[in-house]
Structure 1
Amino acid sequence: MSTEESPLPRGRESGQAAVEAALTMPMVIFLVLGTLQLFMMLQARIMAEYAAFEAVRAGSRNHGNCVPMQHAALAGLLPSVTPYLGAGNSGASPAEKLAEAWSARIGSNPRQPDPRYVPGRGMDRKHDGPIFWLVREQPLAYSVPDPEDIDFDAPSGDGQRAKRLEVRLIYWYRLRIPFADWVISRMLLAHLGLRDYDAVNPLIPADNEAGWTKSSVTVINLDSLIRDELTSRVASGQYVFPIQATYGMRMMTPLRKEFFDTQNCEPTPEGL
């Protein structure tokens, strides 16, 4: 009589492989999609820095006016906001496609820009908040002289603080990769100490509690208004990531009081 053990039935082996695949597949998928999403976020970071530079440059040449600053910022961010050169977009030429994407987001009245997502096809239906916030950190509105300072470019004298324009741009970058957007958003909320997530772990379905508890780490340069906006958007299914960029430049034109009724450029809330 043979003493060798009989092999396991093939049905049991295939069942074990199926269970192992079910347990590991979410993690593998997230590693692939998450890596792709992180590279796209790095690209968005570069675009945000460029948009902040363009906004400051436009403001320094136009007396600190928010309208050209917002136009310049949106122009810098638009390639990462929408793939407007795709074959599915109307317009015969790249210039026409750019014009269509621009008008849909900046509005028809250039004096009242509306840098917002407009509900459209697919995932864009959920993303209807501002694309970016533009904060004028310097000069402060109350320090802008009236009438304008004709000696604004003098090396010394009154209005020294008002001779440099400094902005902070908060780019509400939309996470575009399915599944990775949902997971990264909840990880981010837990990391920032905004919300716990203790439901089923999406990366390990066999784990009934993800255990993504609020972090006690203090996150630098994340204002309460940004935290509230982030929490609100993720709760409504708008998976975004706040990318911040700053830039400063010496004024090329004198500041005008008429452009500083508010400190920040609409729709950016005051107090940032």
Structure 2
Amino acid sequence: MRCSFRLHPARAQSGQSAVETAIVLPLFVFLILGILQLGLMHQARLLTKYAAYKAVRAGSIHNANVREMEKAAVAVLLPMLAQRASGEGGIEYVRPVGSGQEFADKWKELKDNKMADTELKYAEVTICGPTKADAGGSGGEVDFDDPDNATSGDWKQSHRTKLRIQVTFNYRLVVPFADWVIFNAARARDMPMLMRMGEVKGTEKSKVAVRKFGSASTGEGPYDAAASKRIYIAPIRATYTMRMQSNLYTNNDDLPSRNACLFPFAY
């Protein structure tokens, strides 16, 4: 008696296709989500460069006032500022700014530059220079139009009237799943040798981590604290230099004692 049971070729191929789909589909979905998120990050990077220009321009005419510079930066970055929907497990969303009324409504909510559910600002301005030592003395002011300051043969002296800033846009990643992967990949990766200008070891490496992610005593910085709430933030930085168009006050508390800007090659 012959056995009538036979595996149908079409069924075998169907099963093979299902297995291949199960393997490839997650990778394909992540590829699409990753492309969307990286595209948005590229747009955020371009806006950050423009925000740095607007911020340093505001600082040059407002005596290097950090608050005024951050307001100017937030106004530029407003179309990309994300919020979390109310309620448990709310998703990240970005309200569009396509008209003057939409700009005014969103500006009214976010002009204080405080990011909800975190201790971070949307836009942070750091003055790279001039430092207090560059400005010199206590009290008084540096005349921006004084030829001795503006055209001095001494390179360092001439920089007393050049405002140098760095804008950090704390960009909230908004694409699900891709946000978690990109955040952890960027946080954990080592910088290439070309960008580090040499090997970083031991205590120097820990100092780099502290400058990027927060306090060494707690082990949890503002970015890690936000990530624990499923808010994934990528700091995007841009720098700009502009000659002062108003006098620089030497007792300005916003002036740093040293250059505190973060660069890939500076530790």
Given the two structures, how large is their TM-score scaled by the length of structure 1? 0.69
Instruction: Write out aligned runs for 1:77-156 (5 A).
Output: 77-82=77-82, 83-85=94-96, 94-107=99-112, 115-118=113-116, 129-145=120-136, 146-150=139-143, 152-154=145-147, 155-156=151-152
CA deviation map 1:145-197 (0-9, x unaligned): 521123644122895332100011121111111111111122222214xxxxx
| Residue type of the alignment partner of 2:213 | R
Partner residue in 1 for 2:29:
29
Give the deviation of 1:220 after TM superposition: 4.3
Structure 1 segment 226-237 matched on structure 2, within 5 A:
226-228=212-214, 229=221, 230-237=223-230
Normalized against structure 2, the TM-score is what?
A: 0.70
Alpha-carbon offset, residue 137 of structure 1? 0.3
Question: Where does residue 172 of structure 1 map in the other structure?
Answer: 170
Relative to structure 1, is the Cα distance of residues 128 and 140 closer, same or farther in structure 2, using a 3 angstrom cutoff? closer
3-state secondary structure, aligned to 2:213? helix
Q: Contact between 2:126 and 2:261, CA under 8 Å: does it hold in 1? A: no
The Cα shift of 1:140 comes to 0.6
Distance 1:241 1:150, change over 3 A: closer
1:208 alignment partner in structure 2: none
Q: Alignment partner of 1:252: what SS?
A: coil
Percent identity reads 31
Aligned-partner residue type, residue 169 of structure 1 = V
Partner residue, 1:66: 66
CA distance in 1, matches of 2:45, 2:229: 24
Letter in 1 for 2:54: E
Instruction: Write the deviation string for residues 11-67 of structure 1: whole angstroms up to 9, x where unpaired.
Output: 554444333222211100011111111111111110000000111011011111112
Letter aligned with residue 180 of structure 2? W
Partners of 2:193 and 2:153 in 1: how far apart? 43
Q: Which runs of 5+ in 1 are unaligned?
A: 87-92, 108-114, 119-125, 193-214, 265-269
Q: Deviations over 1:108-130 (max 9, x none)?
A: xxxxxxx1223xxxxxxx56632
Larger displacement relative to structure 2 (156-165 or 42-51): 156-165
Return the alpha-carbon distance in structure 2 between the equivalents of residues 56 and 271 of structure 1: 14
Post-superposition offset of 1:72 = 0.7
CA–CA separation in structure 2 for the residues paired with 1:262 and 1:156:
22
Partner of 1:241: 234
Alpha-carbon distance change, 258 to 75 in structure 1, aligned in 2, over 3 angstroms: farther
Secondary structure at the aligned position of 2:168 is classed as strand
Name whichever of 227-236 and 63-72 sits farther off. Answer: 227-236
Change (3 A) 1:102 1:220: farther
Distance in 2 of aligned mates of 1:34 and 1:135? 30
CA contact (8 A) 2:52 2:239 kept: yes
Q: How many residue pairs get matched?
A: 223
3-state SS of paired residue (2:248)? coil
Q: Structure 2 unaligned runs (5+)?
A: 83-93, 198-207, 215-220, 263-267
2:115–2:122 Cα contact (<8 Å) kept = yes
- Measure, in 1, the Cα distance between the counterparts of 2:261 and 2:165: 14
Give distance in 1, aligned partners of 2:59 and 2:254: 15
SS at match of 1:259: coil
Alpha-carbon deviation of 1:234?
2.8
CA separation of 1:134 and 1:220: change in aligned 2, threshold 3 A: farther
What's 1:203 paired with?
none
Q: How does 1:158-237 map to 2 (within 5 A)?
A: 160-192=158-190, 220=196, 224-228=210-214, 229=221, 230-237=223-230
Letter in 1 for 2:61: R
